[in-house]
Amino acid sequence: MNIHDLSKEAVLKSLVTSAKGLSEKEASKRLHEYGPNEIKEIRKKPLYHRFIAQFTHFLAVLLWIAAGLCFLSEYINPGEGLLSLGIAIVAVIFINAVFTFIQEYRTEKAVEALKKLLPFNVKVYREGELKEIGAGNITPGDLILLSEGDKVPADARVIESNGLTVNNAPLTGEADARPRSHEAFNGDYLESPNLVFAGTHVVSGYGRAVAFATGMATEFGKIAHLTGGVQERLSPLQKEIIRVTKIVAVIAMTTGLFFFTLGFLVGRSFWHNFIFAVGIIIANVPEGLLPTVTLSLAMGSQRMAKKKALIKNLTSVETLGSVTVICTDKTGTLTQNKMEVERVWTFERQQSAVSSQQSGIPSPLMGEGEGASYDMLMTTAYLCNNAVFDGEKYKGDPTEAAILKAAREAIGDIKAERLYEIPFDSDRKRMSTVYKWEVGSKKWEVKEKDLSASTSHFLLPTSYLSFSKGALETVLPLCTGILAGNKVEALSDDYKNSIMQAYHSMMDEGLRVIAFAFKEIPPNPPLVKGGSIRFPTLNKGGQGGVINSDLESDLVFAGLMGLEDPPRPEVPDAMRKCREAGIKVIMITGDASRTAAAIARQIGLVKNEPVLLEGPEMNVMPDSILREKLLSPEIIFARMTPAHKMRIVSILEDEGERVAVTGDGVNDAPALKKANIGIAMGISGTDVAREASDMVLLDDDFASIVNAIEEGRGIFENIRKFITYIFASNIPEIVPYIAYVIFKIPLPLTIMQILAVDLGTDMFPALALGAEKPSKDVMRQPPRSPDEKLLNFNILSRAYLFLGPIEAIAGLSGFFYVLYSGGWQWGTMLTSDNIFYLQATTACLGGIVVSQIGNVFACRSLRESVFRIGFFSNRLVIIGIIAEVMLSAFIIYHPLGNRIFNTAPLGLDVWLLLIPFSIVLLLAEEIRKWLARKKTGPR
């Protein structure tokens, strides 16, 4: 069946459906027959493959080599204890693999759960009633309503179109909008103008289409079947983590080889040197770093979701922290998107207002019996509108809903036959409709004798009227007349001045101003060969009619409406945070400049006189001048189109800014993709915008963006916190081996005990640090440079040169205290089963564990005192410490723990020696933080 060859009547017949759509029973039957409308994931990597991959990455390969050498050494020279060491290293590989796999799996499931918060819904007709259902429930024969911004849910045949254009880029790669019509087409299937395909996007207009292929039967599904899944690329953060890991691993290998060679020079045996080298390598390798980072990002994204910011890509959480500029819309993001008509202007009402001022009687805002011009304004507002009232509430675009509400309350409901619509367009900034009009169909009539003789074409007994509304600068130039009372008069300069005065007055109050106009179209116009539009429903005889396509010329100006959209109450505080954080906020709006400036002042976006640029100015402005304008501390862009937004974002990024940009329309998608962080609106946003974005605002609130940036900065902070914590314990693990080689003392810490710290006692507090809330001063710091590395000199010096040495002193102090208490003398070597030696190494282990308890509190902030943060403000830290203590108790006091880790129980006197080191470390770090705050000042 070549469905594009058929007429729309034949299409409905062939798919056994009707203009009212399917019945619920039939739809359910077909859904069961054809299956859900979804693209199945082809060749997704099985779980076991992903689990195996955890054993083959760079760190794992290093550990496999070390384990292999241990087993080889045990085979060549048995009895040296290398078998148990090899088994321990293999256990490390398995523990790390399982932990990482579980965290990645949990993260994937968390992201899937978050995506369900934004289901892909579609409007369909079922039994003649318009319903909204999940896209997965679409079945062949369903009648789909398509409108601007929608993503097409299935391959469908268009049966009705009104300015419908579709972007087939997801399917064909051609990014230009293609018009769609319902006419039969005898040509190539994929090029047919009466077909829309799943996964493509509606750019403008609206229409109805019948689904004929769903799921894997669609063109999109066939391509998915051929190509399979696409391998994900590593994010910058993931690459940075791998870079850090490789650097540390290279350092570990180099250090191990160096001291292995040094051991020979001081006369130690090969096996002693080998054990030492393996210990150095394991002590330096950050086995738990990657899973901890993954979990930290996942927890951050879940916290953001609770704050109404849905992150689609985990690594975007961290990217948010480096944003320097936010380009934001006004309506619905900075304001509440709760439109109300506050002021109405017609020339008749202006005259009434003047008379009222002279008499001292106030003129009502709206009321009955205000005359023909007022009624015609409300009629235009009612009929040039796509919002609806369902008996309970108004549905549709908030601006249109507010206008419809005002019109209904003023003149009631109107019944008229809409023949045609020119949809609103972001470039034209207006929309127009055409109606068949019967004089007397409304509650008021215009008497012929009241009409101006020169313009008596207004309201003939049976007329075709076009109604237009939009931005004043696009509507007023199309007008040649104005309705003044019951007369249509020529639009003189005096009238234009009066209109502009009213317009500026409303804008200065922060109102969004919409202009309205209309015109009568002769009932039997001549055929216009160039650019004519045919209305098949115009003549009931089936002949069709022709109306001049120049519907938007020689219009009669009806009046203005000023709508108030109050700012969100939380936005001023969010603006203050942005200012303190060094983030520049740029308003890019389709509203007029005066309205935008008034709102900007109300919310604290501008303090002085900002630079105001409107779309027409930008059209003729070279990039060099625009770059200079963007350097202004306060700038507002008004009357902007999505193309303007794209240009602004591109120039900002060329200047080295990291840009977050908001958008909700289909034409915003390029800017959302271009930006470092694209932010789509969850409530008012289109499917296309949400798909192109990195983050979705579930409440469309600007404050949620600021909260997300704060969380993003906190995530980067947290990664550095637990890196510092993990790396700090490397020093007390390395120093005992260096002392062992240089000073010829018993080895103070065994490899098994190192593993007990790295993959045991350290893990729970490190995970708790990954869940730390952002510090109070995180939004008082300038944005982080994208060139700033995760691991820098400050981090390494704090961990290796300050915190680590204190822990090393604690561990060695415990080690030598136990040895000297047992009568040990310097230079005496002890056997590995000597009770004093076992207790001494256990004391060294205990010193590290105790010191790390103090260190976890020290690492909770980079500058702020833990006494100010509060010891119990992060309950996960307390839980982590409890888990650390319980695991340490098992290792030190349980017989099984003693056998596995070569430990022995310690007396109270040893703990009394070790515990103060935890306090000393914490106090030393508090002094360092105090000096840092004193040097740089408060933030």
Tell me if 208 sits within 8 A of 289, measured CB to CB: no
Three-class SS of residue 795? helix
Q: Which tokens hold the place of 904? A: 């022995």
Count Cβ neighbours within 10 Å for each residue of 798-827 and write b for 16 or more, e otherwise.
bbbebbbebbbbbbbbbbbbbbeeeebeee
Query: 3-state class of 374 per DSSP?
Result: helix
Q: Which of 72, 161, 296, 109 is nearest to 773 (CA)?
A: 296
Cβ atoms within 10 Å of 122's Cβ, excluding its own:
24
Q: At what angle do helices 593-603 and 493-508 cross, to 10 degrees?
A: 20
For 199, 217, 339, 912, the CA distances from 220, given in Å and listed in that order, are 7, 8, 40, 70
**DSSP H or E run through 661:** strand 659-663
Please list the alpha-helical segments (H only) found in 116-218. Answer: 169-172
Q: From CA 438, how far away is CA 436, in angstroms rounded?
A: 7
44 backbone φψ class: left, alpha, beta (φ>0; ψ -120 to 50): beta
User: Which residues does 60 contact at the CB level (< 8 Å), separation at least 6?
Assistant: 54, 93, 96, 97
DSSP string, 828-860: ----TT-HHHHHHHHHHHHHHHHHHHHHHHHTT
Given a contact cutoff of 8 angstroms between Cβ atoms, the answer to whether 464 and 437 are in contact is yes
Task: Tell me the C-alpha to C-alpha distance, in Å, between residue 129 and each of 19, 125, 146, 629.
Answer: 11, 5, 15, 52
Number of H helices, E strands in the chain: 34, 27
CA distance 422 to 145: 17
| Distance of alpha carbon 533 from alpha carbon 933, whole angstroms | 72
* Dist. CA 686–CA 694, nearest whole Å: 14
- Interatomic CA distance for residues 680 and 694, integer angstroms: 8
Structure tokens at 609: 């006189």
Whether 339 contacts 402, CB under 8 Å: yes
Residue count (the chain): 939
Asked if 853 and 728 touch (Cβ cutoff 8 Å), the reply is no
Q: How far apart are CA 31 and CA 41, in angstroms?
A: 19
| CA triple 49-55-56, angle to 5 deg | 90
Structure-block tokens of residue 676: 């470092």
For residues 183 and 524, what is the distance between their CA atoms, to the nearest angstrom?
25
Structure tokens at 239: 């690459």
Angstrom distance (rounded) from CA 583 to CA 321: 11
Token reading at 453: 């003789």
- Which residues have CB under 8 Å from 31's CB, separation 6+? 137, 139
Helix runs in 199-337, H state only: 219-227, 236-265, 270-284, 289-306, 316-319
Q: Which of 142, 150, 155, 329 is catalytic?
A: 329
Under DSSP, is residue 141 helix (H, G, I), strand (E, B) or coil? coil
Contact 426, 646 (CB under 8 A): no
Active site residue 329: yes
Furthest-apart CA pair in the chain: how many Å? 124
Distance of CA 465 to the CA centre of its chain: 44
| DSSP symbol at 551 | T
The residues carrying an active-site annotation are 329
